[in-house]
Every structure is written in structure tokens, then in C-alpha cells.
Amino acid sequence: MALIVQKYGGTSVANPERIRSLARRVARYKAMGHQIVVVVSAMSGETNRLIALAKELMPEPDPRELDMIISTGEQVTIGLTALALIELGIKAKSYTGAQVKILTDNAFTKARISNIDQHNLKADLDAGYVCVVAGFQGVDENGNITTLGRGGSDTTGVALAAALNADECQIYTDVDGVYTTDPRMVPEARRLKSITFEEMLELASQGSKVLQIRSVEFAGKYKVKLRVLSSFEEEGDGTLITFEEEDNMEQPVISGIAFNRDEAKITVLGVPDKPGIAYQILGPIAEANVDVDMIIQNTGADGTTDFTFTVHKNEMNKALSILRDKVQGHIGAREISGDDKIAKVSIVGVGMRSHVGIASQMFRTLAEEGINIQMISTSEIKIAVVVDEKYLELAVRVLHKAFELEEA
């Protein structure tokens, strides 16, 4: 008998039929003698519907009240899921975040979990109940309802698994695991049986949409065994995310290729090459709450330097006006330019650590196809490049082939 936390996203509870299908899966696990905690998101589309309603009354909604409103999405789903289980003859009980007591700070709309009371859940699990817990939500120490931000249901699942010392946290999504890259782009993409947390983190942060990065960090921190599975298939082991590299395993050099079309590149040309320039450029950007991803600085020959960084496409114009209004004159830059026709491609793998020449193989592969590399950024287990967005698919396909990812 194992204690399993199963987390189901919005598409897995999108309508009554899907919820019944979820309930039948839970029933099968229960029949095997396992104790089950189910974490569910709001029905897909519901959170956006509620946000739109809130914005009709207040264009930038007060965050406490917004959390009050949007937390109802998951509350409806837990009730419906419990009903589907009870209808199958299974003892089940729903819990809001406040009822479990998932304690968070009071940073409404993006709260962080500080503690989970596992007393009530344990008692109900021991009494034979399936506990159905609302994802995405918690309660602060004054009893205010909080939400954890987008993707917070994954975090709820992992945090519950950690608090309950669960044997496994299963994340059910609309894909059947983590792939070497997006199969819609590369039909030869292959499902990975397992992947390390570090790789998953890089894949998640590099644009692979399977799991939220916060939940992966959380799982790594608390050593929760995480498995990604499809909620639309009866069979399949999904992808196990391990917190230790299995030494005796033949580790492939590269595990996967992530990509991202959401970034734009901003270049500050002809900046005097003096200390403090990076801060003078990025300080005002950070103050305006614009997230910066890649940053590159190259020294030129004439005592000036070119400074380039990427931001989300939606924030390019905001960043450009900040630079032109507050920075350009001040630092004496020659030109400020933006380009949102770019894409980022990253190869990820713990095997990189012990293999040299991966970067050069990547660059050669792209060069052979005539794909110009605009920016490069590396970490110990990742190499990311920025290319013209029209080359994105080509770049992913040739890299997938070059690193032989289609082969098990």
C-alpha cells in the first residue's frame, strides 16, 4: 500500500465526463489498496472567466478580493470530483485550502506556502477516504483566502506530497510525459522514461510547458518523487522526475530540446565601456517590474560596448520607452533597438557535464543549415541560443537529429 498524490489540471476536469473518467482512475488506484489524495485545478476556462468578471468591476482588481473570487473555481471542482467518486461507491471528501489548512503568506494572487497541516487529511485517509483537495489556494494566518498564482495547483500537489510524505506525486496533464522536444514540432520526439530535476528545471524554465517551474523546485527541495502522466490514457508510466542522477544508468548526453517564442531582444548600441553600465541599463528595467532573461555584453574595439538582453514580447515596448526616456541620454548610448522576431532554442542534459564539444556540435549543426546565432547563453547543463524566429522549427529539428534524440 502506497500513499499517492494525484494532481489533475484544468483540461482533466473540463467537464463532467472528464471528471467521471478521473474518478474511475482514482477508483482503480484505490482498488489496489493505495491511499489517494487528489488535487484538482479549476475547470479549464473558469479562472479566466472569473478574472474577466472581476475586471469588469475593477480594471486592476484588489488582490485580496480577486483571490476570494478565483478560488471558487477549484472549490467547485473538488465538490464535483468528490460527487463523482461517491457515485462510484468510494468514500470521498473535498477540502478547500483553508480546510486542509494550507498556510501561506499574505501575498495575494502569488502567495507562498509556509506550512501544511496534515492532521485532518491523515485522519481521513486512515479512515478510508479519498481526500480531494483544491489546488492553487491556501489561507493566510488571518483566515484570508490566498491563491498561489498560475500553475499553483502543481505546487499544491507537490507540497501535499511532501507534507504527507507520499510515495509519489503524479501530475496528470494533457501529454503523456516529458518529451525530448515538442512532438507537434518534431514527430520523432520521444518520451523520456526519466529525467533529473535539474534537467526538468531547465526544460521548464526554457519554455517546456509540462510542469510549472515552482513545483519542480519544490519537489527537488523536499525530494518528492514526481511523475508526469497523461489523464487521457489508461496505460503508460509517463516520465519519472528523479532527484538523483542514476549513476549506473547510461545517461544520454542531451535529454531534450526546449524552445520559446515569447521573448524579444533589446540591444543598446555604442555604450561607453565603463563600470556600472549594466546596472545603469537594467536598474530602471527591473524597477518597472520587467523580467529580463538572457543578458549579453560584448566589448567593441573603439572603447564602446554593445549590450543585449531579452524580455517577454509583451514588455518590449515598455522596456524600449524606459531606455529611451531615462537611460539613453544619461549613459550616452548611440542607439536603442528592439526585435521581437526571435526565438530561443536550448539543449539540456546533465550528460553535458562530462562531455566536451557539445556546444561546438550545436553551433556546427546550426551553421550547416545557415542559421545565424544572435545570442548565446550557457549553464552547466544547458546551452541556449537566440535565432531568427523563422528558423525555429528547422533549428529544433536538426538539433533533435544531430543529438540522436529519437533513439532510446
- Give the DSSP letter string of 302-345: SSEEEEEEEEEGGGHHHHHHHIIIIIHHHHT-SEEEEE--EEEE
**Residue list 137-156, contact with a second copy (CB under 8 A):** 143-145
From the list 50-58, 266-274, 298-306, 374-382, the region that binds a second copy by CB under 8 A is 50-58
Query: Considering the complex, what minimum distance in angstroms separates the CB of residue 138 from a second copy?
Result: 14
Binding of residue 133 to a second copy (CB under 8 A): no
Q: Which residue in 3, 27, 69, 269 binds a second copy (CB under 8 A)?
A: 69
Q: Does the footprint of a second copy cover residue 50 (CB under 8 A)?
A: yes
Number of residues that bind a second copy (CB under 8 A): 36
Q: Which residues of 198-226 are buried (b: 16+ CB within 10 A; e: fewer)?
A: bbbbbbbbbbbebbbbbbbbbbbeeebbb
Q: Which string of DSSP letters, residue by residue, matches 228-275?
A: EEESS-SS---EEEESS--TTS---S--EEEEE--EEEEEEEEEE--T
Nearer to a second copy, 8 or 309 (CB): 8
Alpha-carbon separation of residue 81 from 84, 90, 122, 196, 405 (angstroms):
5, 11, 19, 32, 39
The nearer residue to a second copy, 17 or 250, going by C-beta atoms, is: 17
Residue in 34, 64, 312, 318 binding a second copy, rule: CB under 8 A? 64
Question: Are the CB atoms for 266 and 313 separated by under 8 Å?
Answer: no
Contacts of residue 205, Cβ cutoff 8 Å, sequence gap at least 6: 213
Q: Which of 347, 326, 401 is nearest to 369 (CA)?
A: 401
Q: Does residue 83 interact with a second copy by CB under 8 A?
A: yes
- Min. distance of Cβ 3 from a second copy in angstroms? 23
Q: Going residue by residue from 339 to 378, which x/- string records binding to a second copy, judged by CB under 8 A?
A: ----------------------------------------
3-state class of 364 per DSSP? helix
Choose one: 80-88, 228-236, 264-272, 329-337; the region binding a second copy (CB under 8 A): 80-88
Question: Per rule CB under 8 A, is residue 75 in the interface with a second copy?
Answer: yes
Query: What's the grid cell of residue 198?
Result: 535539474
Q: Which of residues 3-32 bind a second copy (CB under 8 A)?
A: 16, 19-20
Note whether 78 binds a second copy by CB under 8 A. Answer: yes
User: 10 Å Cβ neighbour count for 33?
Assistant: 8
Nearest CB to a second copy, comparing residues 129 and 218? 129
Distance CA 309, CA 302 (A): 21
Q: Which DSSP symbol is given to 365?
A: H
**C-alpha cell, 178:** 516529458
Q: Does residue 54 touch a second copy according to CB under 8 A?
A: yes
2 makes contact with a second copy (CB under 8 A): no
Q: Which three cell numbers stand for residue 147?
A: 491563491
Distance CA 95, CA 276 (A): 52
Nearer to a second copy, 103 or 348 (CB): 103
Contact stretch for a second copy (CB under 8 A) within 84-92, 295-303, 338-346, 358-366: 84-92
- Binding of a second copy by 82 (CB under 8 A): yes
Q: Could you tell me the smallest distance in angstroms from the CB atom of residue 57 to a second copy?
A: 4
- Quick check: 80 binds a second copy (CB under 8 A)? yes
Shorter beta-carbon distance to a second copy: residue 94 or 310: 94
Is 117 a binding residue for a second copy by CB under 8 A? The answer is no
d(CA 331, CA 273): 10
Q: 3-class SS at 351?
A: helix
Q: Are 371 and 394 in contact, with CB atoms under 8 Å apart?
A: yes
Task: Select the residue interacting with a second copy from 76, 278, 292, 359 (CB under 8 A).
Answer: 76
- Should residue 58 be labelled a site residue for a second copy when binding is judged by CB under 8 A? yes
> Does 96 engage in binding with a second copy (CB under 8 A)?
yes
Measure the CA–CA gap between 181 and 172, rounded to whole angstroms. 19
Closer of 80 and 211 to a second copy (Cβ): 80
Our finding on whether 302 is near a second copy (CB under 8 A) is no
Residue placing its CB nearer to a second copy in the complex, 20 or 225: 20
Residue that is written with C-alpha cell 483553508 in the block: 98
Q: Closest distance between a second copy and the C-beta of residue 101, in Å? A: 9
Specify the residue for cell string 535529454. Answer: 255
Contacting positions for a second copy (CB under 8 A) = 16, 19-20, 50, 53-54, 56-58, 61-62, 64-66, 68-69, 71-72, 75-76, 78-80, 82-84, 86-87, 93-94, 96, 98-99, 143-145
